[in-house]
Structure 1
Amino acid sequence: MNLCKTLLFLFLLSTNIYSQNDCIDAIVVCGNSGFKGLSIQGAGNVQEITGENSCGSRENNSVWLKISIKTSGTFGFIIKPESSDLNEDFDFFVFGPDAKCTSLTSPIRCSTTNPNMAKLTYNHTGMTADYFDTSEGPAELGDGYIKWINANAGESYFIVIDRPVGISNFSLEWLGTATFDDAPSISVPVLSDLNITKSDFSGQANSSLIFDLTANSPKITGSQTGVKITYHTSENDAIINSNPIADPTAYRNTTSPETIFVRATNTITQCYNTASFTIKINDKVVFPNNKVEVCDENDANPFDGKTKIDFDQVTKVVFDNADVSGLTINYYLTQSDADNNSNQLPNLFNSITPFEQSVFIKAFNSQLSASVAEVKITINPLPPVNNVSLVQCDSGENANGFVLFNLKEANAALTNNNPDLETSFFISKTDAESNTDQLSTEYTNSSNPQTVFARITNLQTKCSSISTVNLKTNVISVQTYLLDIACDDDENEDGINTFNLTNANIPFTNTQELKYYATENDALLEQNQIQIPSQYNNKVPYNDFAYARIEEGNECFGISKIKLEVIRLPDIEIIGTTTNVCDNDSSYFAQLDAGIKDINTLSDFVYVWKKNGVEILDKTTSNIEANTSGIYTVTVFNKNNCSKTRTIQVVSSNIATIESVEVVDLQIDNSNKIKINVSGSGDYEFSLNTPNGPFQDSNVFENIKSGIYEVYINDKKNCGLVSKTVAVIGVPQFFTPNNDGFNDYWNIIGLNGNEYKNSKIYIYDRYGKLLKQLTTFDNGWDGTFQGIPLPSDDYWYTLKLSDQRESKGHFSLKR
């Protein structure tokens, strides 16, 4: 592990540290944390290790450490008591990975060997690569060392170090290739840079002062983020994060010098670093600052680098606005004058050396020895004074000379385009000088012309000058230019289209500049300029204006309106429709219409009809008739020649031709079936015995009773209806010849006299005796033989159809 050198260095800094001995207070171990001279005492508030573990021990005098693995690798350690006495017995336990204080399980590593009882020659213990056991002890069992851990990035572990016997402190050395989370760095070259020295300016014999310790916080953190800084009065408190100074902005020292300990903690990983610095009360006057900047504003020439210096103001800067009423302070031109108290400078001093005046400050009181220091006073020139004008246009319908000005348009002239200069604007010079009641940069003049005042401030030096801005309005009659109307034909029909604003052909000279804007305010304020005027989309649907501003030398010579009009397309149904004509009926015409939604507007449009792309010259109305198939289109034009096209597909259809009828009959339980096979270009539907429907799309009828049926085939596109008579043959299972008018005769059902006229039916008794022969024209058998009624019984039949089919079966006669 690459921490050893750093840890050894920190071991030298850390002595007699009393640390946490409960899991919840575990010390977070970081890449630059180390421990030497660590003192442990007591088992903490909670006994968290029971004697039931594999090493057979518990907490006696313990410390808890928490380790988070940054990069994967091996990690181990060596615990070395400061005393080599074999009676100094140190044990350890390791929990993890990712163990929780609230749910600790058995340790994954532990060693509780007693070096004296085990007759060892050393009393150190730990985890290294040289061993293979993962636990040992207690008492005489083991040799003090076990196998180290292969750890993965992101895992965390708790290490408990316990001393059941002895009084010695110890050190801890890390081993292995795994690395831990890094601690924040203390971002100062040398720690002495953090030392704070103050002087007591009160003139009283004070032994303590108020120190702002947080002045060191930005020095410590530097560019690091997520770092919390706390200040402590002891090193142990800083390491265990205990007893931070409550108000480090106003800490009163207890001794001089006094050591303050600072802790920098990563708020995410909780890794930390510590350092120390001193605070001290000096017995001489300390000058916090020796460089002062003033502005060249207190004499007639604000640009010569010379000015009248107010030493009261210089004193405030030198002493960071501290109360120095208890000091005697004088200024001199030379060190010699200051040392000899001669040629003291007046409080208001006219500088001699341009742009940087060197003086010497001398301060003392009855308690502090006199101190002398050189103070370099930089005299910064004021920003240049440039009085400028802004000329605006008022071209509205009620033009009165009062319009909106963009005062920022004066910035380039006021600052000479110097990025270090900023501007602010005021009604009066008094307001500009006092920097009060600043105007909005979008300002409507109150008179024509009007002068406002600009305060130009150097952002680096904070020096300011005052310039004037003359506001003048040219009242010009508004000009409106027209562009060709645009049809709303960009597929969106939202009233938005693309215009070329330059086609307005607004006249301007070679010395003038023409710019385009979406609104009049933008044109007045010269903001949001339209960058590509040849490809501008109107903002307000259907009726909008763009604005063109002509200016010369930043003076407005006119603002013109450009009318942008988008025409709505005819309101028609454009969704494609399909209709048909009949090949079998030349008198059948399909009715085609243009799909105008509002029939009251039919006469407002011009109609152009085409068939298969060829114009139909004699068709100019909204409705036409067609008796031939094809792709028909109608383009509807409004009075602005904006159009929309509707497409209608006319297909051909025809009456059905019956090719064949397939009948499956003579079935039990009426499971007979009819299938009609047709041909033709139409879309057909089918019904049985109902010429007006209902119809079905399927050409198959199933589970039908025996009988005579009329099958109807209809063309869905109204090209006609055809039919055919179909016989479904069935055999009655019984009959009752009792002359009651019901089932008095037995005969085959569904025998069509025309189709089956040559069919024969033979009836037999159970012994094969022929009793009756029937034709399709007979009523049936009445249950007699030679006029004598036959008894109830089963009788047999043979059916010989004219289509060569033959069927045999039996039925019952019931009396």
Structure 2
Amino acid sequence: AYFDLTQQDAVIHTALGTTPATLTVHYFTSENNANNGAPRITNPSNYYGTGGQTIWVRVETPGTECFSVTSFKLELNQPLQLTTPSMLILCNESLEPNGNDGQTEFDLTVKNDEILGQFGIGQGMSITYFEVDPRMTTGATPIADPTAYTNPAPPQGNPKTLYVMVTTPEGCKSYTTLTIKVLPLPEPDQDVEPLVQCDVNNSPDGQEIFDLTDAEADIRNNDFNMVLTYYTSEQDALDRNDPIENFTAYNSGNATIWVRAEANTGNSQNPVCFTITHFELIVSPLPALGENGDGVIEPYAICEQDTDGIATFDFNTHMEEILGEGVNPADYTIKFFRNAAAQAAGTALPYIYTNTSSPNVQNILVEVRNNESECVTTAPLTLLVEEAATANPVTETFFECDYDGTNDGIFTFDLTRADDDALGSQSPTDYSVSYYTSQADAEAGTNAIPTPTAYQNTTSPDYQMIWVRVTNESTVSGCYEVTTLELFVERIPEPSLAGGTICVDFRTQEVLRDHTMDSGLDATHTFVWYHDGVVIPGATGPTYTATEAGEYTVVATSATGCVSDPIAAVTVERSGPASPIGQGYVVSNAFSDGQTIVVLAEGYGEYQYQLDNGPWQNSNVFNNVSAGPHEVHVRDIATDNPCDEFNLQLDNVSIIDYPNFFTPNGDGYNDTWNIIGMWGDDFAGTKIYIFDRYGKLLKQLSPAFESTGWDGTYNGAPMPGDDYWFTVTYREGGVTKEF
């Protein structure tokens, strides 16, 4: 290769600390030539050298014969000898969304080791992939991410030849190619019809033997090269793990079968491309006959009075007993046959059929085909013609007043009192009577009242319907008829009373306020009122107005005769307003500093007393009363509803005293003098005598009638300002006193 030996000039000058102007550098092919100074390499910047060759260097000082000699080797790096890799083949990535589009994502680096070979692995080689040959295309761009490269769309992109450039750590490059290819996925049908079988083996275990290859034609979708294997889970199918071995005789119930469809390319070196699909195994149950689905069809019975054993049957009316409750007969094809031979011959009976056996039994066959699954079940059906039962109307009355102590509308009845009515002339030996709380139970003969002799009604307050079923026990089908009876429970009346207070005038005995008691019931009831245990004549209404004290009670009877329980008597108390005795009060200790007012009142109440607006007190005595007029109030507290409106009020109640001075100057204040509190009838005879200091009588007064008192004159002339004296004679507590 060509080398630029002058690259060493700078290295030499740097080592010596010199410049090109101070030294001369020449290059030689041998040491001898270097020492001699000739012949030298004449074009050192473009020397055609050999790898491993030694080059000698002579460094001289210009103008002298001084020089030094050294050497270095030429090293020639070579690109890696590459191995052309085998084709990189992958399966089409997915059938979604574009089906087999011939494109998928490749990790090109999986071929790195194969390209480098044993001498290139681990030597720090750089591998770059191109879609075009970088040697032929200026500015060729490498594939950005060779670990996730998607080939172009066919036809140019599948197969696709890529170009590989390997660069050594020294920068030497070598080239090769890599061909990539996308194999198509198999395309099995993704909407495979299920395999369906009727549950005929050990029915109804829900298990049948399936040949899974029955689905192959549907799965292959006209691709006969794909290889099919069967699995019980999708993950097993993906992992090719634990395939179903006995796929031509696979015992299963309802299940999903997963199918791995593999492409067969005929080349063992190709990857195995596969697609997963699935289909269902369905074990269709046989039609479940009978009301309980157990294949037992209840006999079709016709009950007739005085029957001859022959009747016309309408099979349309027996469909619920054949198919069960809630099953739509339109989903099934139902045929009736006289016997197995007729069924084999396909000779069905009409839906409206008259039996041919007498006295009362004929057995036929019912064939039921599920229109969707085509599964068929056959079961026997017995036709019966039997003697009917009659449930006669119940005339027994079941009415009770709720006298059991709870008055909740619930009572205990003996329903068997209706047996005779319901049976009529039918013998209790052959016919039974049972009782039910709903018509549905009575018709079905289920949930009969277990103890009809002691049945508590469940509907409150007062009415409940009971269904009575009469059954001919001698019949196979249990011929029956249903009638009803009604239970009535009337709650007894519940009167309530409230006591109170009547107000009576103590002196006149006039009833000032009565007390009306309300039973709380309406006038549809009748009433008996009692006063102190004695019937009150004429008192029959829902209310009673009491004018006498005592204990009262009432008994109420409903329109149907239910009588109330005795209730506790209530008390009506007597009270009344306080009546004054005399003028209603007396004043004691006249003219003293501690005078007392005693209130005098009588009546039927228990009284409290109040002076002016002071506190109420139980005592009728007020001590140490101040001078001047007062008001006294008396109220009744004997009952919860006292006669408050008749409270006693006494005005101008005053203690007895006198003013110490007066000023008769005509100014309207203290112009006259009189003794305070001596008014009213109790002081009608009281006399007051007024004297001057010499004992001369100036004025005689009667305080009860001369309210203005002395005006300070004598014989019409004003008396001088001075001290004056008086005497007064009065009665207090029945005693005549003088002050």
- Taking structure 1 as the reference length, the TM-score comes to 0.37
Question: Would you tell me which structure has more strand in proportion to its own residues?
Answer: 1
Give the greater-gyration-radius structure (CA).
2
- Taking structure 2 as the reference length, the TM-score comes to 0.40
